[in-house]
Amino acid sequence: METIGKRLATARENAGYRSAREAAETLQWTYSTYASHENGARIPKIHTVRKYARAFGVNASWLMTGEPKDAKEAVPFEPRDRIGAVPVTGEVQAGHWVEEESFSFHDNSYVPMSPDPQYPPDAQMAFLVRGNSMNRVVQDGDYVIAVRTGHSRDAVENDIVVVRRRIGELAETSLKRLRFVDGAWQLFPDSTDPKFQKPVYLGSIENGDSVEIIARVIGSYRPLE
């Protein structure tokens, strides 16, 4: 008997994600939670099913029940189908550590900008900026547009990047500026706030910390108030 987990795995594979971990890390989901839904250990709540359906481009009803038979039949209209848009996949905020995905997806969770034609559209994502750790560049409430690592050139000095830090099951996603200082790659805030001045070493493992670049920022968007 086909289960929600099996349909979720099918949707994930058809969306181009080779593994549950790749999907979770790319889409800013907690891996252990997503994996438990895909392997059938836990049944996701309806709002979570809708989030998965939007991310993988399938019908939420099909994920839940297997009906309609065509996974893409009657998928709700998305704004990107008409004008082109970049999906918002999470928030970036220095010092904000979470176990579960803290960003709430909505039907209009898209930045109204066409994907940059230099990069694959499905490798581009937007992040909502929270806080002032990069306020010399972007402000609280702005969005940054980024390309997943591996789908564009490697980050170079002075690029702004999306950084994932982990301590056990906790994760922090933030923006940093990449610099080569004293013979090592370091990730700096770019802020006027004295609280956000200390760099992080790329690839370091300190006190259980793992640090990696997950995307390179290629632009920003500021909604009109």
Give residue 42's domain range: 4-65
In the block, residue with structure tokens 């250990």: 41
List the CATH number of the domain containing 55: 1.10.260.40
pLDDT the model gives residue 206? 58
Handedness of CA 131, 167, 148, 79 (dihedral sign): negative
pLDDT tens digits, 32-86: 889 999 998 888 888 788 888 888 888 888 888 888 766 665 444 344 443 468 8
Residue 187, domain member (yes or no): yes
Together in a domain, 39 and 103:
no
Same domain assignment for residues 54 and 134: no
> Total structural domains in the chain?
2
* Residue 162 sits in the same domain as residue 210: yes
pLDDT tens figures, 119-176? 888 788 899 999 999 999 999 999 999 998 888 899 999 999 999 888 877 888 999 9
Domain assignment of residue 72, yes or no? no
Last residue of a domain, one of 65, 97, 116: 65
Same domain, 163 and 91: yes
- CATH at 217: 2.10.109.10
Nearest alpha carbon to residue 69 among 80, 58, 78, 54: 58
Q: Among residues of the chain, what percentage have pLDDT more than 90?
A: 39
In this structure, are residues 7 and 63 in contact, taking their beta carbons and an 8 Å threshold?
yes
> 112 with 85: CB under 8 angstroms?
yes
Whether 12 maps to a domain, the answer reads yes
| 126 shares a domain with 42 | no
Looking at the chain, the number of H-run helices and the number of E-run strands are: 6, 9
According to the model, what pLDDT value does residue 209 have?
Answer: 72
- Report the chain's mean pLDDT, rounded to a whole number: 84
Task: State whether 91 and 143 are in the same domain.
Answer: yes
Question: Is residue 77 one of the residues assigned to a domain?
Answer: no
Q: Which residues contact 187 (CB under 8 A, 6 or more apart)?
A: 161, 163, 176, 177, 178, 179, 199, 200, 201, 202, 211, 213
Let me know whether 51 and 20 are in one domain. Answer: yes
- Global pTM reads 0.68
> Exposure string (b/e) for 96-110, b if CB count within 10 Å is 16 or more?
eebeebbbebeeebb
- Rounded to whole angstroms, the Cα distance separating 71 from 6 reads 13
Based on the fold, state whether residues 120 and 191 are members of the same structural domain.
yes
Last-in-domain residue among 14, 31, 65: 65
94-125 pLDDT, tens digit per residue, is 988 876 544 555 545 788 888 898 988 878 88
pLDDT for position 81:
41
In a domain, 94, yes or no: yes
Alpha-carbon gap, residue 29 to 158, rounded angstroms: 28
Between residues 192 and 49, which one has the greater pLDDT? Answer: 192
Q: Does 59 lie in the same domain as 93?
A: no
Q: What is the pLDDT of residue 74?
A: 43
Are 30 and 132 members of one domain?
no
Residue 90 sits in the same domain as residue 46: no
The answer to whether position 70 is within a domain reads: no
Distance (Å, rounded) from C-alpha 150 to C-alpha 214? 9
In-domain check, residue 134: yes
Q: Is residue 109 part of a domain?
A: yes
- The answer to whether residues 177 and 106 belong to one domain is yes
C-beta neighbour count of 128 within 10 angstroms: 18
